[in-house]
Amino acid sequence: MKNRRNSQRGVTLIELIITLALITITIAVVTNIFMVARQTFNTGVDKSSAQQNARFVSNKITDELKFAKNIDSVAFTSGEFYRMYVNNHSLLIQKYSGPTTTVGSPVTVGQYIESLSFAGSQYGKTINFTLNSKSNFTGNTAEAKVFLVNSSVQLMNNVGANKVIQNAITGSELFFTLY
């Protein structure tokens, strides 16, 4: 009878505690791996979003300026012209029919822009620009991913002696006329 009793012995409290501790540690490790993988995925998505947005805005700037007749860093004194600038993290283009007369509302060309700066030499035919695009503007700047684009636009104005860039271009806004 004594042997039968020992063979029917159940799980001791120590064995149960050790098993629960091992299960808890395993769940904690698996959860931690899952959280790190999720954070890595979200970081990749944010970077991709910022990069895609920067590329889109860069292409829009290139499309707008490529066939510009005249470009300047100050407003033109007469005629119809356009102003390209960043306001509230959006790239805007505003049409003017004189130095202070706007036509309609500004058109939003791109969003999530942290900063934009232009540079070009007088009488040149190339505008360089630097664009910082962010993936999110929810207020938590530590989580926002920034993507930087340095690019240039080769202007297609083929009118021999005409000045394309009126004055040396520096700053965060640009004025241009179209054909």
Give the position of tokens 């290139």.
Answer: 62
* Contacts for 106 with CB less than 8 Å, ≥ 6 apart: 87, 92, 93, 94
pTM of the model: 0.69
Concatenated DSSP letters of 1-36: -HHHHHHT----HHHHHHHHHHHHHHHHHHHHHHHH
pLDDT tens digits, 5-54 = 556 678 889 999 999 999 999 999 999 999 999 998 988 888 888 788 88
1: its two tokens: 């009878």
**pLDDT for res 159:** 52
- Going from N- to C-terminal start, the domains of the chain cover 39-178
108: its two tokens: 């939003």
pLDDT value at 166 more than 70 = no
pLDDT tens digits, 98-126 = 888 888 899 988 888 888 888 887 777 78
| CA–CA gap between residue 130 and residue 149 (Å, rounded) | 6
pLDDT tens digits, 54-99 = 888 888 888 888 888 888 888 888 889 999 998 888 889 999 988 8
